[in-house]
Amino acid sequence: MSIQVMDGDKEAYLEEASKTLKRQRENITDLEHERRDLTRTLRVTKSRQNRTKDAENAAKLAKLAEDFVSETRRKMFHCP
């Protein structure tokens, strides 16, 4: 094999390796951003204030559902 062919193979390999490394670095950056965003979201969902607010909202929804059922029964059984 001639030196020119080997040099051409080497250049092609280096170019392909460089492109692969660039794509991998971009993927790492994208994954780091995604991890940061997921970590932030997880912190928010675990916060005590949000858990307390969720419990309050669940209690309000339960009360609304109970009132709705009671009102519906009242209308169904007390119609003239």
List the domain boundaries for the chain: 1-46, 53-80
Q: Kindly indicate the confidence band of residue 8, based on its pLDDT and cuts at 50, 70 and 90.
A: confident
CA-to-CA distance for 42 and 50, rounded, in angstroms? 11
Share of the chain above pLDDT 70, in %: 90
Residue among 57, 54, 77 nearest 65 (CA)? 57
The residue with tokens 């949000």 is 50
- Whether the pTM exceeds 0.85: the reply is no
Q: Which DSSP symbol is given to 24? A: H
